[in-house]
């Protein structure tokens, strides 16, 4: 057996080529990985950027805002620790570490993080499932929960999943912010009035308790609380830059100290514990504990990200600052990890303290960091003096903040705007009042996401017609449509979630107008198309071509066209079926539509091109559409060309209009327009083979259907019509009088 010769040089060339290609791919991949790595490291370099871009004139405002927030956060931290079932000092550790770390690695200039009411309750509820409150195991489990939540949020940030925050609509933020403001105000009423109420009461229960115990109002506490509110309001009207909350708190503390109001029943925050945050011993190798905490950690981590997104976006809507959600998630992750390592618990962004930070004039992230530093200083040095701060004054400050959180002008805009946004806003607000806060946020986001999916999966599919000036296509259901051509505008993307709706709407219109066998799709609003959209277009193409028509597209965007080309749809449809907007109707009118229908059957004259046509005097008694089951033999242009040279050639019957026939026709052809074919049935030879010719095959099939019913059996059609004949560069004749039948013919 002979051994075939192998061209080693060819193989070597291919290998070298493949090697070069592989080397190029490796280099490209390495470059991309390096870029991603640098971007990821960039998240951790945020403190460097903050300090490098800092302006010294902002220092005074940031220090004052930090001091103001610290005065609020210091007592809050101990209260939140009590809610979480943790020692009060752990709340201070959480406030110090959470504020500093989240601020230095965050992107929002005014967001302030630390312990919050919601996350304190979450700490308690999740940790109680694995340990008994008050035990060392409980503290260790709370630390592990915080560490796991921090790792989760950090991974979300570095993997750039912050884009998910874009699905939180502004209506959710407005509703959630307003609901949170109402909750803050209601929860501060007992402190403001100096009355007792069950800890952890809900919205309705708290209102009930306030009314029940209203007669027990402590007068000195109420005076301090309402005085604080009055001071803040008056100072804000004089100058917004005056730190009203801080001044109100200092004055109330002085009043308590001078008049001994703490001995007369005024509740104060008490002496503060001292000491730096100690390093915690976490059971990081207790896989059983980690497994039992994992579900709760995942839920808490996700809820915290949503809250952070809602708060930072709410603040940025006022400051017009562009916030990087991924950077915020990295900041929250690092803050929780730091809090867990130094004996704290869950950290997240605070609504009321962020609002206070903004109102107090914070310019940069250092304001929130300073608040943590001031809490540390207060804990170490000013504990005896801070003990005189009355809870009623703190409640008064929070009441003002809560009032400012309810954005009434924006709520009115949403109520007067679209029904969907208003429903989401109201539902979120009510859920915030009557449901656990985390479920309220998730409900609002779920509704927002559901509305987005519903809107994108049911885009508008509208048949459009020219306006009165014939310059623009508009949706006008009261106007008649062209009997042959339907122009449909798709106002949405052709992706898997929407194609069924779009296909259903187009087919429904087709069933209502079966004579409209030509479809022109306007796609200027289609930004995305996937394989499902391609399959839908292929189905429509087959459907309309089976009906004797065709499909054309106009205003297809570049990326969409490229996608169609890569998936083979451009080849299947034909590049000549992608039309220019300004020329589409004219092209279809002169080259695609049946002029016999335009002249003799149509009386609506939809397009500008129709206006010069004569009005029909009678409708043609021939079918608009031939049944798909009707079969008609065809002959190619070259076959017909050779048959015409035979001694007994077939008779070529051109069924186009006279003006078309005069422009160009096959030599030896006679012109019997489709509109007059019934007038000359007796004069057409039945014994000869009749080759029916039109511009395409459509009118030829219609003519054949009529002749078949009249007993003509030797019928054929020119395949592709005159377009195919001319494309084959075969001889044509021009300026010949149309056929006038005689007795001899």
Q: What is the CATH number of the domain that holds 712?
A: 3.40.250.10
What's the DSSP call for residue 448?
A: H
Q: Is residue 590 part of a domain?
A: yes
What does the mean pLDDT of the chain come to?
83
What's the DSSP call for residue 644?
A: T
What's the DSSP call for residue 56?
A: G
Please tell me the pTM assigned to this model.
0.60
Q: Is residue 624 part of a domain?
A: no
Average pLDDT over residues 398-421: 82
Using pLDDT thresholds of 50, 70 and 90, give the confidence band for residue 3: very low
Residue 738, pLDDT score: 44
Using pLDDT thresholds of 50, 70 and 90, give the confidence band for residue 745: very low
- If asked whether residues 653 and 697 sit together in one domain, one would say yes
- If asked whether residues 416 and 465 sit together in one domain, one would say no
Q: Is residue 740 part of a domain?
A: no
Last residue of a domain, one of 610, 644, 676: 610
Which one is predicted more confidently, 307 or 705? Answer: 705
Residue 337, pLDDT score: 97
Whether 341 shows a pLDDT value over 50: the answer reads: yes
Range of the domain at 236: 56-447
Residue 7, pLDDT score: 44
Whether 732 shows a pLDDT value over 70: the answer reads: yes
Find the range with the poorest average confidence among 209-213, 224-228, 239-243, 725-729: 239-243
Which one is predicted more confidently, 424 or 1? Answer: 424
Whether 107 shows a pLDDT value over 80: the answer reads: yes
Q: Are 584 and 552 in contact (CB under 8 A)?
A: yes
Q: Is residue 732 part of a domain?
A: no
- If asked whether residues 344 and 230 sit together in one domain, one would say yes
Q: Is residue 29 part of a domain?
A: no
Last residue of a domain, one of 574, 595, 610: 610
- If asked whether residues 438 and 477 sit together in one domain, one would say no
Q: Is residue 2 part of a domain?
A: no
Residue 19, pLDDT score: 45
Q: Is residue 453 part of a domain?
A: no
Q: Is residue 639 part of a domain?
A: yes
- If asked whether residues 235 and 361 sit together in one domain, one would say yes
Whether 594 shows a pLDDT value over 90: the answer reads: no
Whether 24 shows a pLDDT value over 60: the answer reads: no
Query: For 218-254, what is each residue's pLDDT tens digit?
Result: 999 999 989 989 998 898 888 766 767 778 888 988 9
Using pLDDT thresholds of 50, 70 and 90, give the confidence band for residue 454: confident
Last residue of a domain, one of 543, 575, 610: 610
- If asked whether residues 441 and 490 sit together in one domain, one would say no
Separation in Å, CA 544 to CA 151, 573, 584, 632: 56, 12, 18, 19
Number of domains into which the chain is organized: 3
Which one is predicted more confidently, 413 or 740? Answer: 413
- If asked whether residues 107 and 158 sit together in one domain, one would say yes
- If asked whether residues 482 and 401 sit together in one domain, one would say no
Find the range with the poorest average confidence among 68-82, 97-111, 505-519, 678-692: 68-82
- If asked whether residues 440 and 578 sit together in one domain, one would say no
The phi and psi torsions of 690 (rounded to 5 degrees) equal -100, 125
- If asked whether residues 706 and 604 sit together in one domain, one would say no
- If asked whether residues 487 and 422 sit together in one domain, one would say no
Using pLDDT thresholds of 50, 70 and 90, give the confidence band for residue 389: confident
- If asked whether residues 372 and 251 sit together in one domain, one would say yes
Task: Evaluate the CA torsion angle 364, 369, 373, 379 in order and state its sign.
Answer: positive
Separation in Å, CA 295 to CA 129, 290, 301, 426: 11, 9, 10, 30
Whether 414 shows a pLDDT value over 90: the answer reads: no
Check which CATH number belongs to the domain holding 586 and give it.
3.30.750.24
Whether 706 shows a pLDDT value over 80: the answer reads: yes
Report the 10 Å Cβ neighbour count for 340.
Answer: 27
Residue 437, pLDDT score: 59
């Amino acid at each position: 057996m002979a051994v075939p010769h192998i061209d080693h040089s060819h193989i070597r060339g291919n290998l070298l080529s493949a090697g070069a290609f592989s080397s190029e791919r490796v280099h490209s991949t390495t470059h991309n990985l390096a870029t991603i790595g640098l971007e990821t490291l960039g998240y951790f370099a945020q403190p460097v950027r903050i300090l490098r871009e800092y302006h010294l004139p902002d220092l005074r405002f940031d220090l004052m805002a930090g001091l103001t927030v610290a005065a609020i956060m210091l007592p809050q931290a101990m209260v939140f620790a009590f809610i979480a079932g943790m020692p009060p000092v752990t709340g201070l550790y959480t406030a110090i570490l959470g504020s500093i770390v989240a601020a230095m690695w965050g992107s929002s200039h005014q967001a302030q993080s630390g312990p919050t009411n919601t996350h304190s309750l979450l700490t308690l509820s999740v940790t109680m499932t694995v340990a008994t409150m008050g035990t060392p195991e409980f503290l260790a489990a709370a630390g592990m929960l915080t560490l796991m939540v921090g790792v989760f949020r950090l991974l979300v940030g570095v993997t750039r999943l912050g884009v998910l925050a874009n699905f939180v609509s502004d209506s959710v933020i407005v509703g959630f912010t307003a609901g949170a403001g109402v909750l803050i105000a209601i929860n501060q009423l007992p402190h403001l009035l100096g009355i007792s109420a069950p800890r952890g009461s809900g919205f309705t229960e708290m209102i009930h308790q306030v009314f029940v115990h209203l007669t027990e109002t402590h007068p000195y506490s109420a005076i301090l609380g309402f005085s604080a509110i009055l001071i803040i309001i008056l100072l804000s009207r004089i100058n917004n830059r005056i730190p009203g909350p801080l001044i109100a708190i200092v004055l109330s503390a002085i009043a308590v100290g001078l008049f001994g109001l703490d001995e007369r029943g005024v509740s104060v925050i008490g002496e503060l514990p001292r000491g730096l945050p100690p390093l915690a011993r976490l059971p990081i190798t207790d896989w059983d504990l980690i497994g039992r905490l994992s579900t709760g950690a995942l839920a808490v981590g996700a809820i915290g990200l949503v809250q952070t997104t809602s708060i930072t976006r709410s603040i940025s809507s006022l400051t017009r600052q562009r916030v990087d959600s991924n950077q915020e998630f990295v900041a929250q992750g690092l803050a929780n990890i730091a809090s867990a390592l130094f004996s704290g618990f869950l950290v997240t962004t605070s609504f009321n303290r962020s609002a206070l930070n903004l109102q107090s004039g914070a310019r940069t992230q250092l304001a929130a960091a300073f608040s943590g530093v001031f809490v540390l200083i207060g804990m170490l040095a000013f504990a005896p003096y801070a003990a005189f701060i009355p809870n009623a004054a703190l409640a008064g400050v929070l009441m003002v903040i809560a009032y400012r959180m309810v954005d009434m002008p924006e709520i009115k805009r949403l109520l007067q705007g679209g029904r969907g946004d208003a429903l989401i806003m109201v539902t979120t607000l009510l859920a915030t009042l009557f449901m656990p806060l985390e479920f309220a946020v998730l409900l609002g986001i779920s509704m927002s996401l559901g509305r987005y999916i519903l809107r994108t999966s049911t885009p508008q599919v509208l048949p459009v017609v020219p306006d009165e000036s014939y310059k623009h296509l508009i949706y006008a259901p009261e106007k008649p449509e062209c009997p042959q051509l339907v122009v449909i505008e798709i106002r949405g993307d052709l992706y898997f979630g929407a194609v069924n709706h779009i296909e259903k709407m187009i087919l429904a219109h087709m069933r209502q107008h079966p004579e409209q066998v030509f479809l022109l799709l306007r796609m200027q609003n289609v930004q995305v198309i996937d394989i499902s959209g391609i399959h839908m277009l292929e189905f429509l193409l087959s459907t309309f071509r089976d009906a004797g028509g065709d499909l054309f597209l106009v205003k297809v965007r570049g990326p969409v066209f490229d996608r169609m080309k890569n998936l083979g749809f451009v080849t299947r449809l034909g590049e000549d079926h992608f039309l220019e907007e300004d020329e589409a109707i004219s092209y279809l009118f002169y080259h695609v539509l049946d002029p016999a229908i335009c002249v003799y059957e149509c009386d609506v004259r939809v397009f500008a091109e129709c206006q010069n046509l004569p009005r029909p005097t009678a409708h043609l008694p021939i079918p608009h559409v031939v049944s798909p089951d009707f079969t008609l033999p065809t002959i190619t242009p070259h076959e017909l060309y050779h048959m015409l040279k035979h001694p007994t050639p077939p008779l070529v019957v051109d069924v186009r209009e006279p003006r078309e026939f005069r422009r160009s026709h096959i030599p030896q052809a006679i012109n019997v327009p489709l509109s007059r074919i019934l007038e000359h049935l007796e004069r057409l030879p039945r014994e000869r083979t009749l080759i029916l010719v039109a511009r395409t095959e459509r009118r030829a099939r219609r003519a054949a259907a009529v002749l078949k019913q009249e007993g003509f059996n030797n019928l054929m059609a020119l395949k592709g019509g005159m377009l195919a004949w001319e494309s084959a560069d075969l001889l044509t004749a021009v300026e010949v009088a149309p056929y006038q039948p005689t007795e001899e013919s």
